[in-house]
Chains A and B, each alone.
Chain A
Amino acid sequence: MKKENQVTNPAKSGGAAATAAEAGPIEHPLALLAYLLIGIYLGVIFVQSEVVSWFRIQEMFRFQSFHMYGIIGSAVVVAAISVQIIKRLDVRSATGEPIRLNPKEWGDSKIPAARYWIGGTLFGVGWALLGACPGPIFALLGSGITVLVVALLAALAGTWAYSILRPHLPH
């Protein structure tokens, strides 16, 4: 049963967001429970491996420890092998759907890959200042560092600002 193009997301070029945004209807409560548990699993690892730490991010950008490179690198290797296995064996998801990873789109700006390197650099500036990317913001909040709620509100303001400026930015 083909279900392609069932959802035409207005922000098809939203990259990772649009990819995540394409899946089917609202999930079964049991599936939601599973997502919650995977999130808890990740939050615990995030905190106890210290990847949510501003100190560790500084250590990484100063190239003074292998810790963060080892974590991101080995995470990518495990994820890449898994994705290859899933693709080669044409594994289906628990809901029986074919698993598709949509390629990131190149955009239509005259500046090549504008959104990726301009947006990426802006994100990197924020990442190094705050010492946390979006996932760690939530884990840090959970760990009791309540002032991060201000960072979350600022990140939402940044997302909203991008949404307004989007038509005028090179992609």
Chain B
Amino acid sequence: MLENLAAPWPWYIAGPLIGLVVPLLLLLGGKVFGVSANLRHMCAATPTPERWKPAFLKYDWKKSGVWNLTFILGVFLGGLLAVQLIGMPDAGAHISDATRSDLAALGVQEFTGLVPTDLFSWGALLSPAGLILIVGGGFLVGFGARYAGGCTSGHAISGIADLQLPSLIAVLGFFAGGLLVTFGLLPLILG
């Protein structure tokens, strides 16, 4: 059903709709759009003996985080509904020819779905490349987001929308790191 809503939604529809999340959260309860805080809430909510818990994780996560954890549960359900009702987007087939040939030159073979299954699957976890991408990438996303005090939502959208200079610096960092991987590390990892 709903096939005529199939991906990819154009940027000029998707971008403004994403931007509206910022005022929706502010108007509803004065909440600031920032997803990575949930990683901290989840760590804080993990039952751990007090002496093993770093000070940064000792706070009332229920009071500060329940709204955001509920919100991110919604994002999970949204991903589920999107695929069930509309269908799995074939992003691998929608990307530009230039990207496709660059990635093919690096050895990527699967160009269907949202992620290349030769790198992102349970089997891929057994290969050094899959392990670095999934575990290494995930670790740095968590570490870097908390160190920088926000991720793409908190800095690139909420922070820059509020004209915060620290957020602009963080976003420049995001790109510096991303370019380093794309043009420096990825050829080594996939090579």
Contacts and interface: CB of A to CB of B under 8 A. Distances in A.
Do A and B interact with each other, yes or no?
Answer: yes
> Chain A interface: which size bin?
35 or more
Interface in A70-125: 70-80, 82-83, 85-86, 91, 93-95, 97-106, 113, 115-125
A150 B188 CA distance: 23
A60 to B, nearest CB: 8
B107 interface: no
Given A35-B67, A54-B115, A58-B99, A86 B120 contact: no
A48 B89 contact: yes
Nearest to B68: A20
A22 B6 CA distance: 39
Interface of B: 5-9, 11-40, 42-43, 46, 54-60, 62-68, 70-83, 86, 88-89, 91-92, 94-96, 98-99, 102-103, 111, 113-116, 119-122, 124-125, 132-164, 166-167, 169-182, 185-186, 189
28 contacts: A10-B59, A17-B150, A20-B37, A32-B70, A41-B17, A44-B81, A48-B86, A50-B89, A55-B111, A56-B95, A76-B156, A79-B21, A113-B166, A117-B169, A118-B148, A123-B148, A126-B137, A131-B133, A133-B35, A134-B141, A142-B81, A147-B124, A155-B141, A158-B138, A159-B43, A159-B146, A162-B143, A162-B146
Nearest 3 pairs of A and B residues by beta carbon: A43-B78, A39-B74, A15-B149
Interface of A: 7, 9-11, 13-27, 31-32, 34-62, 64-80, 82-83, 85-86, 91, 93-95, 97-106, 113, 115-135, 137-148, 150-164, 166-167, 169
